[in-house]
Structure 1
Amino acid sequence: MKKRTQPYQKEKWINSLQLPKDVCMGALRVTLTGNSEVWIENYRGILEYTGERILLQARTCQVCLEGSRLSIDYYTNEDMKISGNIVSLTYI
């Protein structure tokens, strides 16, 4: 049986040095402002985009936003801003 070495050791060093995981490991970062705005950083791609549902691929999971009048106002390869009436945010 093979041991988990490299990713585990990297995370261990990051934790011991108290470095931010989103910067060092590319972890997903979600900033929600009320129920009308969300900033997503370090996503990998857009899987589904409608006015009622936006599904994003992250490094280790998928993120699903549901609501009404959802729109992607801004996006780059690293971050995006979504606005609308956000009813739920789910990690899959």
Structure 2
Amino acid sequence: MQYRRNRHLQRLAGILEIPQDIVLDLPRITMLGNKQLLLENHKGIIEYTPSLVRIKLEQGELIICGKELTLGNLQVEQILVEGTVEEVKYDT
């Protein structure tokens, strides 16, 4: 049922020329090398240490591993992770 709903929303987004991340409530991840990661459309921080950041998403979580990780630009639906990003995992 969920798959069918998502297919309809994808088609609607294409017809209306709306980005799918908005219609399907998907996260948008933007990286600047391995120094910055900007995550939009998150649901909150699960865990934060200087070597690990876990962020809740609509479906699952994003796990960021690295060195000297810091959180900056915290907003309602946007997080900036800075430091040396070594690994990014999307866990559903």
Say whether the fold is shared (TM-score over 0.5).
yes
Task: State the shift of 1:61 in Å.
Answer: 2.1
Cα pair distance change 1:68/1:16, threshold 3 Å: same
Cα pair distance change 1:73/1:3, threshold 3 Å: closer
**Unaligned regions of 5+ residues in structure 1, if any?**
none
Pairs aligned (count) = 91
Distance in 2 separating the partners of 1:54 and 1:39: 13
Corresponding residue number in structure 2 for 1:25: 24
**Sequence identity, in percent?**
21
Q: Which runs of 4+ in 1 moved over 6 A?
A: none
**Unaligned regions of 5+ residues in structure 2, if any?**
none
The alignment's C-alpha RMSD in Å is 1.9
Corresponding residue number in structure 2 for 1:13: 12
Distance in 1 separating the partners of 2:4 and 2:65: 37
Corresponding residue number in structure 2 for 1:47: 46
Task: State the shift of 1:27 in Å.
Answer: 1.1
- 1:42-81 aligned at under 5 Å gives the runs 42-81=41-80
Distance in 2 separating the partners of 1:35 and 1:3: 34
TM-score by length of 2: 0.86
TM-score by length of 1: 0.86
Residue 86 (structure 1) aligned with residue 85 (structure 2)? yes
- Please give the per-residue CA displacement for 1:64-87, whole angstroms capped at 9, x wherever unaligned: 000110010121111011100110
Distance in 1 separating the partners of 2:54 and 2:61: 7
More helix per residue: 1 or 2?
2
Between structure 1 and structure 2, the one with the greater Rg is 1
